Amino acid sequence: MSEMRDTADAETNPSMPSATKTPRPPQDAAQSDWTNLQERGSLAVLRFVARLYRMFGRRFSYFSLHCITIYYFLTARDLHRFSRDYFAHLTSSPEGLRALGHRPHWRDTYRQIFEFSIAIFDRMCVWMGEATHFQFKWHGDEHLRELVVHRRGGILLGSHLGSFEMLRTLASQHAVVINIVTFTEHAPKINSFSANLDPNCRLHIIPMLPNAMQTGFEIRACLERGELVAMLADRLAPGQRHNSVSIQFLGGTIVLPRGPFEIATLLGVPILMTTGLRVADASYEIFAEPFYDGAKVSRKERPAQIENLAQDYAKRLERYCYRAPYQWYNFMEYWESPSTDAIRSSTAPKKDS
């Protein structure tokens, strides 16, 4: 039986040496507060919808997501600001504007929240052992099979775009151990909740604490055993700005954790970029594309290679944003670029007449 360790947030490896320090405005506290709110809210929503699902089934539970969406749409002011910022950056390029199909509008925020509610709902269904009721179309799972056959450890690089939770289906299909790293103080509660939904599934979230060397050693041990380690690389956790890299994404500047790229280049392990995009009700496309071949890099060349990998990751992430523009779930102050206000005003939504 496959073992799964799952996540809401990825983090850098504190046991790995840091290199270039990237200064950033002091936004840690605000982002930490909102992230904690998201985690607590997500867990509360999961519990509520799980009861509805057991009592009334998928159709009624799915309808209730509109009620949840309306609640957050009306009460979460920061969420509107974060959403507007994302859609402004998305549509700052011709590709993004074509993907969305129109200038940003308040209805886009509603749909984005609704997609997030669906992602949480589908996560719960998978935890309840309902994955057989989903349809999955695979792209590139042969690359994962190759790692499994050769018993070679590797990193599955994900993001808060789409449903990273659908990686669990990869573990079940290929009978492979996937260790998923998270930064969240609510890991024990989420572990307990998932265990109650499906006692036969060894779903375990490994919390990544700031300066926790033990987690770094555990990641290394998993890779050396030929297992897979899944990490989300699109969000910098509080307290890890000293180990970040600054790159361009959707027309603005962001910072990403160096950890996943540093681990791969230091230990010489390959990376597959993975994501799961919802295309219809209970239907997902799962992508696993080769990202890094696993070549070891010398200490001297490592900083430049890490920056190149981070920028390549952002470019590929842009492509997935164009493919599923409403499935972006980084509800936080995400961009560092001073041109953010200009971008937002130039793409301001038109008011209804």
Write the pLDDT tens digit of every residue in 183-237: 765 555 665 666 665 655 544 566 676 656 778 888 898 899 888 999 999 998 7
* DSSP states of 169-238: HHHHHHT--EEEEE--TTHHHHHHHHHHH-TT--B--EE--TT-HHHHHHHHHHHHTT-EEEEE-S-PPT
What's the CA gap between 126 and 103, in Å, rounded? 35
* Helix (H) or strand (E) run with residue 24 in it: none
Task: Find the length of the chain.
Answer: 353
Give the per-residue pLDDT at 343: 52
27 compared with 114, residue with greater pLDDT: 114
HSE at residue 313, side-chain half, CA atoms within 13 A, is 32
3-state SS assignment for residue 42: helix
Q: To the nearest whole percent, how much of the chain has pLDDT over 70?
A: 73
* Average pLDDT over every residue of 166-177: 72
Residue-wise pLDDT for 92-142, tens only, equals 999 999 999 999 999 999 999 999 999 988 988 887 778 888 999 999 989
Highest mean pLDDT among 23-27, 31-35, 164-168: 164-168
Does the pLDDT at position 153 exceed 50?
yes
Residue-wise pLDDT for 287-344, tens only, equals 999 999 999 999 999 999 999 999 999 999 999 999 999 999 999 999 985 544 445 5
Tell me the C-alpha to C-alpha distance, in Å, between residue 279 and each of 23, 142, 298.
38, 21, 42
What's the CA gap between 272 and 275, in Å, rounded? 10
Question: What b-and-e string marks burial along 72-82, b requiring 16 or more CB atoms within 10 Å of the CB?
Answer: bbeebeebbeb
Using only C-alpha atoms, the chain has a radius of gyration, in whole angstroms, of: 19
Domain definitions of the chain by residue range: 4-14+28-343
